A and B are shown apart, each in its own frame.
Chain A
Amino acid sequence: MKRRVIWVSLVLVSLVLAAGFAGSVHGATPLTIGFLYVGPKNDYGYNQAAYQGSLAVEKAFPNAKVLQAENVPETSEAERVMERMIDDGASIIFPTSFGHLDPALNVAERHPDVIFLHQGGLKTAENLGTYFGTIYETQYAVGQAAGMATKKNKLGYVVAFPIAQTLLNINAFELGAQSVNPKAKTIVVFTGSWCDPAKQAEAANSLVDQGADVLTQHQDCTKTIVQTAERRHVLSAGYHVDASKFAPKGWLTGSVWNWGPLFVKMVKTVEAGKFHGSPYSHRYRAGVKEGVIQLAPFGAAATPAIRKKVTATYNGLKSGKIKPFTGPVKDQSGKVEIPAGKTPTATELEDTDYLVQGVTGKIPG
């Protein structure tokens, strides 16, 4: 018996020693850029859009090393992942989920020489800038498409959390729908999760049960809702990426990101040493004008009339002539949130904490 113990221990010791020599060897590190996603990178949604941006960076910088981390939760786990990337030589980090901001700020404090470009955040630091797109602009146009296409005047919106970006999307969508169809109403359902297909399926089904004949969403993974809409023979408007192949009959249009060119520009700026003082070191907000947001291709359900109207609106958004949030805008209780004639800036809009009139559903909590 004792012999067995000695034998086992010897094996273990040699394993340990062998492992000791198996440590990684770090050579000279090339330009290393890290991307963090809160979900899977092929979710046909938010994370995929960011991932596509990262591919553009890979293409533009063929000698750079691009690190990818998916399914990174919005807790201190994210800090660990970022620290790991920095260990691997990352000098630029893109935390792409909203909830990665606080972890990123903590890591940024510890590593002043690493530049962080956070997607969607509202706080910045010396070496951390945030960027986002005013995607509610195109959601306004999408709302118009929905308003024109709906026969029952009921539109469904599946969302996750009542963060300002989501509320702006819902509001813009409804305002857009109202602008072409004053009777259109939007029903909002909060699932409490960025991507839980079972909840999405149930939410989509309940909305259709309620009579909604156009569905849209603010979720990270968009496939389930689009497919459920198609099965229940209602129309869908997409978000984040073009998912029209899942709704060959019912696809209208949607809002999609085009991060690639922006990411490449930002990396170039950092590499040129021009980060501090550039717009990217603050709260950078781009819109249709800068090409960061586009309309998804039109689908089978988009009639010529819809296409004409939406394209015209898109051009108006691009030129700056059309601004979705022009007062007077009332919230659900009738209170005037944006006075007549006033047009808030993107920064001011990010304080939104209400839903506009015409939206059914309560901000939870």
Chain B
Amino acid sequence: MFVEDVLIGAVRSGTAVLFAAEGEVISERSGVINLGTEGCMLTGALAAFATASWSGSPWVGVAAAAGVGVLMGALHAFFVVTRRANQLATGLAITFLALGVTAALGSDYVAVEVNPLNPVPIPLLSDLPFVGPVLFNHDVLTYCGLALGPLLWVLLNYTRWGLVLRATGESGAVAFAYGHSPSRVRYLAVMAGGALAAVGGAQLVLAYTLNWVENVTVGRGFVAVALVIFAAWNPLKATAGAFVYGGAVSLQLQLQARGVDISPFLLNMTPYILTLAILVAATRGRAQRAPDEIRAVFGTAGA
């Protein structure tokens, strides 16, 4: 059935972006925007793929990805928090760095085979009509992704850690006054964000494409950053946004497979235009809802 197929595709192709987006939510809530997310996804993907092929286990690959992601995040944090360099330029430079490094190191892995993360249908639940195949017939990492949004939401709003994180994002001075080091919070937040983005990259290559090529993520990390703003820094909406993106990707292929005559290019535009449109529609007043530190990054010069 068409809608069901598109939704299954949405979860399939949206999960990698979901991980990166949730990671970026954490980072931005602390006041740091990380355009290096794309770079984290790429390095995570290669680390996961390479490690999975040496060790034979995809989960070791996922762990390796997380480790590498932490390091990439730390790199970004160093420049942005300690050296106070411009966040956007740093993130972009790191992404370029990652692109080059992964291309150079990854060329040996293009032809390699790994044990993938296979779908694990959840008994009983996966038999439910419609909801079953859409939500309960994926790999374990996807299930983690589905749980991530709600988990983060709870953490952000109902725990002390979340409070400290949000406070740091609103005003480093306030957090400092209450005995927390804003720098430390930001470092940890960005490292966590990097780790999650890297796990997203791992999911992409270990569960979805089963292959590594240069630049395998093709801009998904950037989309994740945009989605976070689209989601008003809310982890639940970020989940929804990631699936909207995944759905648009899947939609154009499903339509083609049914012989519908729409240019694939125009269809491929939909995820981005949709994100823009929703950003616009909901953005009135959004500028006020951004964590203050983020607003500073973009320069409040303006209307």
Contact = CB atoms under 8 A, between A and B. Distances in A.
The short answer to whether A and B are in direct contact, CB under 8 Å, is yes
Interface of A: 39-40, 42-44, 48, 71, 156, 187-192, 195-203, 205-207, 209-210, 221, 223-224, 227-228, 231, 245-246, 360-362, 364-365
13 contacts: A40-B110, A190-B264, A192-B268, A196-B218, A197-B205, A201-B208, A205-B12, A209-B5, A209-B9, A209-B254, A223-B113, A224-B209, A364-B265
Contacts of B214: 40, 71
Interface string B1-30: 000010011001100000000000000000
A224 B253 contact: no
Contact of B5 (A196, A203, A206, A223): A206
A192 B265 contact: yes
A198 B13 contact: yes
B107 interface: yes
A213 to B, nearest CB: 14
A40 B259 contact: no
B78 to A, nearest CB: 25
B154 to A, nearest CB: 31
Contact of A223 (B8, B13, B111, B218): B111
Given A42-B111, A197-B209, 6 more contacts: A198-B13, A201-B210, A206-B254, A209-B5, A209-B8, A361-B259
Contacts of A245: 113
Nearest to A224: B211
Interface string B116-137: 1010000000000000000000
A203 B210 contact: no
In the complex, which of the residues A44, A199, A246 has the most CB atoms of chain B within 10 Å of its own CB atom? A199
Contacts of A360: 257-259
B255 to A, nearest CB: 9
B250 interface: yes
Contact of B253 (A43, A189, A364): A189
A188 to B, nearest CB: 8
Contacts of A364: 263-265
B111 A224 contact: no
In the complex, which of the residues B116, B211, B213 has the most CB atoms of chain A within 10 Å of its own CB atom? B211
Nearest to B118: A231
A205 B257 contact: no
Given A43-B110, A202-B13, A228-B210, A365 B116 contact: no
B93 interface: no
Contacts of A207: 257
Nearest to A362: B261
Contacts of B213: 39-40, 43, 195, 197, 221
Contacts of B224: none
B268 to A, nearest CB: 7
Interface string B228-269: 000000000000000000000110011011111101110010
Contacts of A44: 111
Contacts of A209: 5, 8-9, 254, 257
B213 to A, nearest CB: 6
Interface in B212-227: 213-214, 216-218, 220
B204 interface: yes
A197 B263 CA distance: 21
Interface in B24-45: none
Interface of B: 5, 8-9, 12-13, 107, 110-111, 113, 116, 118, 204-205, 208-211, 213-214, 216-218, 220, 249-250, 253-254, 256-261, 263-265, 268
A206 B268 CA distance: 16
A223 B250 contact: no
A361 B208 CA distance: 24
Contacts of B218: 196, 198
A189 B258 contact: no
Contacts of B217: 198
A93 to B, nearest CB: 22
Contacts of B113: 223, 227, 245-246
Contacts of B204: 198
A231 B12 CA distance: 14
A227 B115 CA distance: 11
Contact of B110 (A42, A205, A228): A42
Contacts of B9: 202, 205-206, 209
B256 A190 contact: yes
B66 to A, nearest CB: 21
Nearest to B8: A209
In the complex, which of the residues B9, B249, B254, B261 has the most CB atoms of chain A within 10 Å of its own CB atom? B254
Contacts of B254: 206, 209
B263 A365 contact: yes
A170 to B, nearest CB: 13
A191 B260 CA distance: 15
Contact of B209 (A43, A191, A201): A201
B267 to A, nearest CB: 10
A227 B211 CA distance: 9
Given A44-B111, A196-B218, A361-B256, A202 B265 contact: no
A277 B268 CA distance: 47
Contact of A221 (B205, B211, B250): B211
Nearest to B209: A197
Contact of B107 (A40, A189, A199, A210): A40
A360 B5 CA distance: 18
A174 to B, nearest CB: 14
B253 A202 contact: yes
Nearest to B1: A209
Contacts of B116: 227, 231
A189 B257 contact: yes
Contacts of B118: 231
B25 to A, nearest CB: 23
A359 to B, nearest CB: 9
